[in-house]
Structure 1
Amino acid sequence: MVSKGSIIDVHSCSILINGYCKSKMIDQANKIFKEMHRMELSPDTVTYNTLVDGLCKLGRIQEAEKPFSQMQVCGLLPDVQTYAVLLDGLCNNQQLSTPVELLREMEANRMELNLVVYNVVIEGLCKAGKIESAIVLFSGLSSKGVQPDVRTYNIMIGGLCHQGLLVEAEKLLREMEGKGCSPNGCTYNIIIRGLLNNNKTLWALEVIQEMVKWGFSADASTVKLIVGLLSKDEVDLNAIKLRELLYRKMPAPMW
């Protein structure tokens, strides 16, 4: 364990806690955290953020909320990073009512929220199938002075595709250029997979032609999906066209 002679400052303790958290030795991290109080060392925001992050990554959300509350009792205000870490943990563990409440609390406290925070919540809502709530949050970003980036669009397009809202997904794809945010290879692959998963091979072919025109390639997940289509008993002729188009444009033998 830690002794006064071996570790004498908060920074050193934070490094130890971070190391234990990364190694998923969260109980050891908790012991160091408790010993800090015994040694009359006051954890700083970095220390709290590290511990909250470690607990969240292991799905121990209720335990993570304790240091989050404790730091405020000790007079330390959570920063954007603290909230982002907790929001991410809550979303990844399907506890979505609390993230929305936290986001409102942050906005009410006039915290300078960055896009990372909004992306975390939007992605959590999409993964949970709460697409309407995600759309509302996404649509309100500009009014908050926050401009969506390519990752935000990719999250939303993926969420829409997952719900079968393909027209809305392509509408976002077309909207990006006008908003000064060009689609990337990931954007195209997301919507192509969405189309293929919904048996829209002709539509997917059109989007792939556009993707290739802009110099992007199909990723491994998209290729795997097309290979799956070609292995079916009744092969869609458009799937064959997809293969031929990608084969001409991709240097590596993918088929």
Structure 2
Amino acid sequence: MTAVVVGFTMIAVVLVDDVGSGIVEKWPVVVEMVGGDGGGVGGWMVTVQATDQVVEAVELFKKLVKEKICEPNQVMYGTVVNGLCKAGHTSKALELLRFMEASSCKPNVYQYNTIIDSLCKDKMVDHALEIFAKMVEKGVVADVITYNSLIRGLCNFGQDCSKCGKRNLAMDLFDELCLKGLKPNVRTYTVMISVYCQEGLFGIAKEFVRKREENGYLPNSVTYNVIVQEFLKQNEFQEANIFLEEMIDRGFFPDATTFSLLLHLTPSIRQDSPMQTIVQKLVNL
């Protein structure tokens, strides 16, 4: 290991020796003492580089901890976990989380959130739910980011998942989120509107949009397109027309998916329907 002191910053660059005789050119782990004076004051930071050497980086990082070459903190662990997940190595990040759970520096909600979100994006939502349950069991309090990731992950299964129960679980988690006084973000609101429509709960979906407005969350282009699409798919043309008109009045326009649905369903819409006029206007834009 080599160390260079520059002012109040000590940078320790760890190099991997694959064969015991030479040093590889890439640096998989960089450990940095920020704001320190060389005497242990300050915080450690670590970044994962050279993603083709992730296994070596993780093992080397654990070796640094076991041999007490450096004492990692939440920031250091969080940076490594985040870097591994972004590089597509969620399993290695999970391995590091387990290592962290057994150490004196226990994981906080940030590390759990990073892995839960990564698992959900990999469509491994069942595994994410297991991590969530264990996190709560260990006394780590879930925040709005935890719920947002799980809800989106549960709803990311398409129309063929109407009987799998995941949408119902998403609705339960959303209710739990609200009961805890947490505020979902725009993406989660939009996902839930889609879920309610797909479950045939159109009244709740409409009420949901209106309540959002009352709370200062005006629908954006994505929200309008989602709700119009869902109403169209269920042949709820009157409701789709209400939101379509409102959408256009507020300066938003149908995206490619909404426009394609409108054109496809136009023959099914009565000629005297206001939606026919709207479709014609859009075609002539």
TM-score tier, shorter chain, comes to 0.7 to 0.9
What is the root-mean-square deviation of aligned Cα atoms in Å?
3.2
Q: State the distance in 2 between where 1:112 and 1:102 align.
A: 13
Q: State the distance in 1 between where 2:108 and 2:94 align.
A: 15
Structure 1 partner of 2:122: 93
One of 218, 229, 235 as aligned partner of 1:182: 218
Q: Which amino acid aligns with 1:30?
A: V
Structure 1 residues 48-99: Cα deviation after superposition (integer angstroms, max 9, x where no partner): 3344345445665443321011112222221222111111122223333443
Deviation of residue 157 (structure 1)? 0.8
Structure 2 partner of 1:31: 56
TM-score w.r.t. the length of structure 2 is 0.68
Structure 2 partner of 1:14: 46
CA contact (8 A) 2:58 2:96 kept: no
Gaps of 5+ in 2: 5-10, 13-29, 34-44
Structure 1 partner of 2:97: 68
Structure 2 partner of 1:207: 243
Aligned length: 237
Going from structure 1 to structure 2, the CA distance change for 1:187 and 1:34 (only over 3 Å counts) comes to same
Structure 1 residues 140-178: Cα deviation after superposition (integer angstroms, max 9, x where no partner): 223212133433311211223344543432232233233
Matched, 1:153 2:189: yes
Going from structure 1 to structure 2, the CA distance change for 1:241 and 1:106 (only over 3 Å counts) comes to farther
CA contact (8 A) 2:78 2:111 kept: yes
Q: Which amino acid aligns with 1:14?
A: V
CA contact (8 A) 2:72 2:105 kept: no
Q: State the distance in 2 between where 1:197 and 1:63 align.
A: 41
Matched, 1:131 2:131: no
TM-score w.r.t. the length of structure 1 is 0.75
SS of residue paired to 1:11: strand
Deviation of residue 110 (structure 1)? 5.1
SS of residue paired to 1:14: strand
Matched, 1:121 2:146: no
Q: State the distance in 1 between where 2:77 and 2:233 align.
A: 43
Going from structure 1 to structure 2, the CA distance change for 1:11 and 1:203 (only over 3 Å counts) comes to same
Larger strand percent:
2
Deviation of residue 117 (structure 1)? 1.7
| Matched-pair identity in % | 30
Gaps of 5+ in 1: none
CA contact (8 A) 2:116 2:149 kept: yes
Q: Which has the larger radius of gyration?
A: 2
